[in-house]
Amino acid sequence: MISQRGHLRGLVLATHAIPSIAVTTVMTLFAWNIGWRGSQLALVLLAILVGQMSIGWSNDAFDARADARAGRVEKPTVAGTVSARTLWIAATVALLVSSGLSWYVAGFVGGSIHVFVIAMGWLYNVALSRTVWSWLPYALAFGSMPLFLYVGLDGSPGPWWTVAVFATVAVSAHLANALPDVEKDQSAGMDGLVIRLGVRRSTLLCWLLLALATGTLVVVSVANSPGPWTAVVLAIGFIAAVVFGSLSRRRSAMFLALLGVALLDVAALTLTPVL
């Protein structure tokens, strides 16, 4: 028999807690940066967090059989701490709660954009995660997040470049995350854009996307900030990451360099007054 504590732990693990909290933190900081405050900001945080929980639960529920065949005992459904049926129910309830919160705090149009974001997460889980189109839900979901927050705040769509930067950084991070496991995924017969392109071309694509995102942020920060420091930090950070990733003999260096630039771009979006 699984204890109540074990069952709860299984539910928490199945939310994919670290990425869920990371996405919620980034988007809440972005919301604060563009003007959300007080109880409205708290409701935005809750809507995003519950939406991310829905995506995580639907992912583990859909992958339950595949995880069992692969013997992934770290997964709650394989360990037996929670069933796929329970996760489907939890994911559906979380989807409804997040949708209601989104419409309440951001209005029908803004809230509907966030519902679309969650739907893209579900689409990735149930249809596109192992295909060459796995990048598409990332681009659409993260590109839509600033629209949700701007439209919900004052009805305006916000600057176009926020959509572009969030989308490109998200796709680059998604591709970079697949790079360390490309050989294992190939041997397992899995498909995906990184597998189709190969490590070298996938890495070049990641750098190209990050160069576009970082370059956009540099231009915007120069135009809107009272000082050049954000642009300088972004430019130096990007160059340093390219040099580190290219010269280091460690296989993980390129992934760490890509991740570092992505985090730097996210920090510029969420923590500096350039918007």
Does this model's pTM top 0.75? My answer is: yes
CA-to-CA separations, 78 to 63, 71, 74, 120, in angstroms, rounded: 10, 7, 7, 26
What's residue 247's pLDDT?
Answer: 82
What's residue 69's pLDDT?
Answer: 84
Count of alpha carbons within 13 angstroms of residue 233, beta-carbon side: 13
**Is the residue at 177 inside a domain?**
no
Residues 119 and 217 grouped into a single domain: no
Q: Which CATH number does the domain housing residue 62 bear?
A: 1.10.357.140
Supply angle C-alpha 57, 72, 134, rounded to 5: 55
228 φ/ψ angles, rounded to the nearest 5 degrees:
-90, 5
Collect the ranges in the chain with pLDDT lower than 50: 1, 274-275
Residues 137 and 93 grouped into a single domain: yes
What's residue 181's pLDDT?
Answer: 75
What's residue 2's pLDDT?
Answer: 57
Q: How many domains does the chain have?
A: 2
Domain with 266 in it: 182-275
Percent of the chain that is helix, strand, coil (3-state, to 5)? 80, 0, 20
The Cα diameter of the chain in Å comes to: 62
CA-to-CA separations, 257 to 23, 219, 242, in angstroms, rounded: 20, 22, 7
Residues 130 and 256 grouped into a single domain: no
3-state SS assignment for residue 207: helix
What's residue 196's pLDDT?
Answer: 87
**Is the residue at 78 inside a domain?**
yes
What's residue 228's pLDDT?
Answer: 77
What's residue 188's pLDDT?
Answer: 62
Tell me the torsion sign for CA atoms 55, 123, 179, 27: negative
- Whole-number Å distance between alpha carbons of 163 and 157: 10
Q: Give Cβ neighbours of residue 6 (< 8 Å, ≥ 6 apart).
A: 81
Contact 141, 170 (CB under 8 A): yes
Residues 83 and 216 grouped into a single domain: no
The type of residue at 273 is P
Residue in 32, 24, 33 with CA at minimum distance from that of residue 101: 24
- Whole-number Å distance between alpha carbons of 170 and 164: 10
Residues 260 and 194 grouped into a single domain: yes
